[in-house]
Structure 1
Amino acid sequence: MSDSTLPARHEDPALDLLRPYITASARALQAAGIELERSWLDPSGPRDATIVCRLEGETRALVWDEETGWRIGGFVSGRPGERTRLADARYLGQEVLPLPQAVADAVVTGSAHPRRKFRSHSDDTESFDAEVRQVCN
């Protein structure tokens, strides 16, 4: 996987904190045979990230945010600094920080779950940031 498919370092440390988790998730997707096009970290309130890929011949995107976790859908629009818009989004998991391999497995199997808000982005950010660090260590 080329470095251009991985999220670049972000100048905001609160967003850059997410980079190892998003990078590990992107690598798990690629290891599962999913072709990645690009990825980036997005705006705050809530923090989120996007991975654009090719799946079943279509351009799709996975979006992760710190309130609802991962979702996938048709890529409508998005870029660094702008919220990503998806068509026909479906949520992948039953937790906000699934292990990267679980993200890839959910994409490959077509797993879908109802939208669930696990937390507010303003809830105890220190504890959540510690969880983010744990996932990739």
Structure 2
Amino acid sequence: MAIRHVEPYTDEWLQQPISYVRQVVHQLGAEVTDWWECPCDPRAATLQLADGSALVWDEESGWRLGTFVAGGRGRHTELTGVRYLGNGLLPKPERVPSALQDARAGVGASTAWRPCYRSHRNCRDGFGTALDFYSRLVGA
């Protein structure tokens, strides 16, 4: 199978993370009260949670949990009390709920320091292929 490269900053490229984020939303179920994509550079998404906290994913640092301060569609999300969930940039969606529990409890792989797994400026590092995997799962 040939590797497909999506041209950066096209609509298709901007929407690449959506399938992955939707699968995480599905895994979290009723705990997610709303979610949206954030502006790019880096591409990101916010999941507002029922307890007033939020999970934010971005293509450089993965998932982080914090208290929602501000944000919304078309705006970057601001959080306080941030803890990164760890487990890499694209942890399997079914692993995010347990990582979230660990972050809330202050145990596990959670950390307050910001990991940087990749740069959003490196558009040819294979990350798009990893995101396409989740798109194919949804389309199947």
- Give the aligned partner of residue 55 of structure 2: 62
Tell me if the contact between 1:15 and 1:41 (Cα under 8 Å) persists in the aligned partners.
no
Count of residue correspondences: 121
Q: Is the 8 A contact 2:35 2:47 kept in 1?
A: yes
Stretches of structure 1 lacking an aligned partner (at least 5 in a row): 1-10
Is this contact kept in 1: 2:36–2:47, CA < 8 A?
A: yes
Q: Is the 8 A contact 2:19 2:134 kept in 1?
A: no
Q: Which stretch of the first structure deviates more once superposed, 15-24 or 111-120?
A: 111-120
Q: What per-residue deviation string (whole Å, max 9, x for no partner) do you get for residues 75-132 of structure 1?
A: 1011111000001010001311111111111012334134210100011346111111
Check 1:75–1:125 CA distance in 2 against 1; reply closer, same or farther (3 A cut): farther
Q: Which amino acid aligns with 1:80?
A: R
C-alpha contact 1:97 1:135 (8 A) present in aligned 2:
no
Does residue 74 of structure 2 align to residue 75 of structure 1? no
1:12 to 1:115, Cα distance in 2 relative to 1, 3 A: same
Structure 2, gaps ≥5 residues long: 1-9
Whether 1:94 aligns to 2:93 is no
What TM-score do you get using the length of structure 2 for normalisation? 0.79
CA distance in 1, matches of 2:73, 2:13: 15
What TM-score, normalized to structure 1? 0.80
Provide the C-alpha distance between the structure 1 equivalents of 2:125 and 2:119, rounded to a whole number of angstroms. 13
Superposition pairs for residues 27-66 of structure 1, below 5 Å?
27-30=26-29, 35-54=31-50, 58-66=51-59
Answer with 1 or 2: which has the greater Rg.
2
Identity of aligned residues (%): 35
Over the aligned positions, Cα root-mean-square deviation in angstroms equals 1.8
Cα distance in 2 between the residues matched to 1:101 and 1:115: 22
Structure 1 CA distance for aligned equivalents of residues 124 and 77 of structure 2:
23
